[in-house]
Structures are given as C-alpha cells and as structure tokens.
A and B are shown apart, each in its own frame.
Chain A
Amino acid sequence: MNYNTTVLLIIIPILSSFLVYMPVGLIKKSFKIIFLATILFNLLFSLKIFSVVLKYGNLITIIGNYHPPFGINLVSSFFSILFLIALYIVFLISAIIFIFKNDTKNNQQKISSVLLLYLASFSEIILTGDLFNLFVFFEIFSISNIIIISLKNEKFSLKGSIKYLLISSIGSALLLFAIGYIYAILGTLNLAEIALNFEKISFFSKCFIIFFLMGSILSELEVFPFNLWISDSYAGAKNFVNILLSGISCVVSLYIFIRMFFTIFNYPSISLYSYNFPLDIKLLLLTFFSLSIIVNQLVALTSKNIKRILAFSSAATISTILFALTSGTKSGFSSAILLIISTIISKPLLFLSSHQITKGKMEKNLDSFKNGINRKRYFSILFIVSAIFFTGFPLTPAFFGKLMLFYTYASKLNYYTYFIIVIIFSITVEFFYYFRMIHKLFIKDETERENKNIKNNLSISYFVSGLTMISILIIFFIFPNIYEKVITKMSEEIFNQKEYIQTILKLGEK
C-alpha cells in the first residue's frame, strides 16, 4: 500500500533543524519547544504509522512520484517501525536530559539542530529501501556522532572523535566501494532488486559484496578489532551522548546488519561455494564474534572507569547479539531481538544512573560508587534494577534472550555447539562485574565523612526519564507475553525475503 506521508518522519526533523539553527530572536527563545515538539511529533506519527502497518501490512512510500525500482522508496514494515518507536523513546529521554541542562548554553541551539538531523538520519536509515540513500544518511549519522562525541572539548573526547572520524570514513569508503560494485554488476540500487538478483551473481562477487558491506559497519557495531574508538569516546563524552551511542547508534547499525544479512543476502539459505574456495561463513563469523565477545568482556572486567566498563559491556552485548544472529535460525533471531530490547531499555538507564551516582566525584571509577545507596538512593535503586535487567535475571527479556541463545546452539549437536562455552564465559564475567558494582553501592565510604555538604539534588529531567524507562522495564517484566507476538511477527517478516521483494516491486499491491 502506498503511504507517502511516512516521509514526514524524516522531513519534519530536517525542516525544524533548519528552523532551530536560524539565529533569529524569536526562534532563539523558542527553539527548545520546536526541538521537543519535533521529537514528540515523530513519536506520535510513528505510532500512527504503526497502527496503519498493523492494518495493511508493509507500507511503501514513494518519493518524487517514481515507483521503485526507479525512484527512491521507503519501506515501513512491522519490524522497522517498532525499531523506530523504541529508538524514538530513547532519543526523547536523552533529548530531555540535554535540553534541561545548562552547561552547553553557548552551543545549545547548534547542538539541538545536530540532534534533529541525527534523528532524521536514523529514521531514514531504518526506513529506506535504497542502498545509496542508506549510504548518504549513514554519512550524516556518523558525522553527527562525531560532533556529539567531541562536545566536551576535552583531550579524551577530541581523541575519541578523531578516532571515530577516521575509522568511520574508512568504513564509509568500503561501503561506497561495495555500492559501486553492486551497481556495476546489477545496474540497480534498490534493495529489493538487489535481493532478487543476489543469488545469481558469482561466488567471488558475493564474497566481495559481503565483506565490504560488513566491513563498513563493523566499526559501528563495536566488534573487537574495529572498536578501538569506543574507549576514548565513551569516557570523554557527555552523559546524554553516552545514552545515544549505546542506545541508538549500535542498534541502528544492528538494524543495518539484519537488513543486509537477511533481506539482501538471504543468509539462512545462502550458498557460498566455488570450485576451489568453499567459504564456511558461519564458522568465520562465529570465531570472529567470539573473539570480540571475549576481548570486550575482559576489557570491561579490568577497566576502572565506570563509563568504560559500561561501554565495553555494551560492546560485548552487541557481539553476543551478532553471535546469535549468525546462527541464521528463527530462534537465534528471536534471541537477538530479545537482547536488543533489553539493551535498548536498560543500557541508557545504566549510563544515566551511574552518571548521577558518581556526580560530584573527581574520578569516575569504581570507588566513586561507594555508599551510593545512602547518597543517591533513587539512582542506586535504578542502577540495581537496570543491572538486573541487563544481566539477564530470570524472567527478564535478557534472560529469555540468553535462554533462546543456548537453545539455538544446543539444538543441533555439531561443532558449533561448543561455542556455547564462549557465551558461558561472557555471562560469567558480565555477572561478576555488574554485581561488583552493585556491591560497591553498599560499601561505606570512609572519605565521605569529611565533606557532608553534598546535596542530594534530584534533577527533574533525570528523575522523569529514569521513571519512564523503569516503568517500561517493569511492564516488560510483568507482561512478558507482549514481546512474544512481536517477535513471532518480526521473524516471520525477516525470514520471508520473497514477500519483501514482492511488496516493493509490485508497488505494495498484494
């Protein structure tokens, strides 16, 4: 079905980012309202689209009255719109934190304009049905990441942002290579048409495309040898930026990964075989992701800085999700989705609460967590709850995710099964350092008695955003059946490549 107003999800943020950027007196006073109103609009409008999607199935948005595969098109399916809604919620929270903080007063107008473009770019990345368009908005996405990482203007943040700049530019060069190659051999850039013809192209071309497309987003996915930027970036970035990086940036790249893997390559039934070069892509990816999991967990274990610990644990989780996706089965996919849900919700919360607990301390290391339960009771409880949710306590989404992960790899007893040991290692380490942090909250701090003047200020923006997230978490805890239907529907959609191609090339008419 045609539903061309979906494009407003992208255009309205762009328009208001231009508006916000204007240095006119009237706008200067009211840019905060425009900023928040735009995000709210996007959230509400995506809900509206979601209801339409539920009614009619996949929606095709046509741009410039040219139908796919000729023109650019947006595809809003169940999977993508749900992703968008979740990301909008995270974005809204970090935007609230950003807008009510006064320490970026000089540049606040410019930064809010950047954030709106960020919003537009990830909406576009998720909705688009065209490879080159994805590339363009991916560029915007990474540039805005660079900007928001460097906001603190300190040694760490500048170093991190330069690292990110260099790595992401290599990555996008690879992506451009791959796109050029695809265009050269297939003559089209439409995802559906590429997917239709991908089987037919030769073995080495397939390998080339897979390697280059994957290589371009590996650095965004924080997979080990490509994630050298996260250490400095997370440690040097502002708090709301940490939330954006961990809650949105990774997840968007995961979305790209899933789309490419399942929609273009049709990974579950991919055949990579040439007369002398059989490629066991599953083994390749599994070794690769296992290495990444182990290294990230080890770094998180041995780091002292709180933000680094959280950053590397999130990187390890992303690798675990990729590990689950690599199995290429429905259960692996649903495990990945469950883990993504838990990451999206609880990771921002961890960053938010740990920032508040360590506020006012000189060094943000493990010792600054001491006596948190008495200093900042609300945020300590928030931290504990979200850590429990993140590590996969029974009956939380992460628990079900890990259950499904074990089930996926246990289901066929072959040599892939023994990769379970990596997961066991990872979970053990993760549990250990999260509980170490929780344990620190209860330890009395000897140095604290000297300065009792630390006021227990509860900033309202933090309070509200924390409360929102925690209520979502608890809803998930009490009604776990919510995500069952969602996941079945998502996996139906993702594992049905043919329907995706049909709806787009047949212009949405069934």
Chain B
Amino acid sequence: MKETDFNVGKFFAFLFLFIIFIFMLFPLFEQGNGLKIEKEIKDLRNRVSFAYSTKSVTDITKTLKESGDYSKYREIYNQERNDIRFKESANLENGSANIVTSIVLDYRGFDTLGELIVLFISIIGLTIILSNLNFVPFNPPTFLQKTGVLFLTPFIMLTSIYISLHGHLTPGGGFPAGSIIATLSLFLMIGYKFSYKLKFLNFIESTSGFLVFFLALLGLFITGSFLGNYLPTGIVGKLFSSYLILILYSLVSIKVGAELSVAIKTLYDGENNDR
C-alpha cells in the first residue's frame, strides 16, 4: 500500500473521531429538558447503583412491591438505609467489602460470566485460526533472563494468589489474578523453556469454567434463581466471608490464567508442537 493511502486512512480516522467528538459535545451545550434529568441523576441516590453501595436491593424491592407504583421508584431509592460497618455487619446480601466486586460478581454477575465466555471463545478462535503455526525457535535463555525469572517467580506467584483470594476485600480479583498467572507462565517459558501440555491447559480451563457455571446454576435449584447466593455471607471484611464470591473468583482466576497461557503458548510454539 502506498503512503498516500495510509494518509487518507489517517485522515478518515481523525474525521471520524472529530465528528463523534462534535456529536458528543452537542448535548452538553443544549438547552432543554435534557439537563434537568441530568441534575436529578447527578445525585447518586437517584441511581440504581446507590442500592448496590448500600447493599439494600432486597429492601428496596420489598418497598417497591408494597407501594406498587413503579413510576415513583426514584423516591423510594432516596429513603434512609442502614449503615454497613466494617467487620461488624453480618448476613448482608453479599459479604463483599469491595463494592466493585459485589457489583461485578453479584449484582451484575451475569455480565461477568459473559465476559468469561468472551475470553474463552476468543482463545478458541485463536487456536482454530492459528492451528497450523510452525515452531519458530527462540534463542536459549541468557543468564540475565534466568536469574530475573528466578527472582520474580515467587513474588508473582504470591501476588496472584493474594489478588485472587482477596478479590472480595481489596481491589483486584479473578481477571487480574489470572492474567498475572499467565505472566508467570510466560516468564517460565522464556526463562526455563518450561512448557505445559496444551491438553492439560485445555482441561483446566474447561473444567474451571464448567465449575463456575455449575456453581452459579446450583443457585437456581437452591434459592430459586440463577447466581442466587446459597452460601453464608459471613461478616463483612473478614477473609472468609461471602463464600460464593470467594470460590467463584478463585475459579475464574484459574480459568483466565489457563486460557491466557494457552494463547501465549499457541503463539510461542504453535499448536502442533507439543513438546
């Protein structure tokens, strides 16, 4: 392709972005009733997420059902809620101290499970499309690589385990932990030419994925709804609390780690070169 074509492409890209930018600016400078709603919404209490942060969805739903007027739900959101105290409150809707985790894995857990599948399917696609790759030999690892990997491995391992187990308490969780595990396997590949069997990785990812969905499905039979919480939630802020989230997140981290390792390994070795 000539250079001029490339410039035309860049021009289009900038035009595209510019128009979208202008388009986004329009609503901001507009007078009308659009802004009113925005003011209303700016108050966090009017939003759906307020119920998430106070872990009071069930209460609100109960009130809504009693009032029976769905058009006034925003007023009902605004009502006073009980405070949640760290390491004191028990048996809440979910015991996750990290609000983000409670949203990601509990209130909107189905989306996260969907994201799991997105990763899963893209790895399958990668292996199908690139199934005929050949092995391209790397240089043997140098001393620096070996030592670096030797030093880093325990820390990375520790970090990943920490992040995955503390997903419900501190920032992080299954996805980052999984990708850190994958980084670990990358380091091992580079430093020590260490390699798993691809079948083994596939087995791990599909088993853990199966378990995640199976555990979520158990909720349907126990509590009457998919992803329903049937394990005790414990006391907020303790390590062993909100058991379902804990289990799911660790399974997710295993699954993600295995999957990303598959991707790295496929690109590194080629599929048909199991050594």
Contacts and interface: CB of A to CB of B under 8 A. Distances in A.
Interface of A: 4-5, 7-8, 11, 14-15, 18-19, 21-24, 61-67, 69-72, 106-107, 110-111, 113-114, 117, 120-121, 124, 132-133, 136-137, 139-140, 143-144, 146-147, 150-151, 153, 158, 161, 177, 181, 185-190, 193, 196-197, 200-205, 207-208, 211, 274, 501-502, 505-507
12 contacts: A4-B224, A64-B107, A64-B219, A67-B64, A69-B48, A72-B108, A133-B110, A139-B118, A144-B125, A161-B129, A203-B32, A205-B30
Interface in B93-131: 106-111, 114-115, 117-118, 120-122, 124-125, 127-129, 131
A204 B30 contact: yes
B121 A144 contact: yes
Contacts of A70: 48, 51-52, 57, 60-61, 107
- For the complex of A and B, the 3 pairs showing the least CB-CB separation, nearest first, are A202-B34, A187-B47, A505-B70
A151 B131 CA distance: 11
B224 A204 contact: no
Interface of B: 20, 23-24, 26-27, 30, 32-38, 41, 46-49, 51-52, 57-58, 60-61, 64-65, 68, 70-71, 73, 106-111, 114-115, 117-118, 120-122, 124-125, 127-129, 131-132, 199, 202-203, 206-207, 209-210, 213-214, 216-217, 219-220, 223-229
A354 B24 CA distance: 47
Q: Could you tell me the dominant secondary structure of chain A's interface residues? A: helix
A193 B70 CA distance: 10
Contacts of A18: 206-207, 209-210, 213
Contact of B203 (A23, A63, A133): A23
A66 B35 contact: no
Contacts of B32: 202-203, 274
B69 to A, nearest CB: 9
A190 B61 CA distance: 15
B111 A114 contact: no
B220 A5 contact: yes
Contact of A200 (B33, B57, B114, B203): B33
A41 to B, nearest CB: 14
A162 to B, nearest CB: 10
A106 to B, nearest CB: 7
Contacts of A274: 30, 32
A275 B203 CA distance: 62
Given A63-B226, A66-B57, A202-B30, A19 B114 contact: no
B129 to A, nearest CB: 5
A188 B46 CA distance: 10
Given A136-B114, A204-B27, A185 B34 contact: yes
B37 A186 contact: yes
A146 B210 contact: no
Nearest to A114: B124
Residue from the set B68, B114, B124, B224 with the largest chain A CB neighbour count within 10 Å = B114
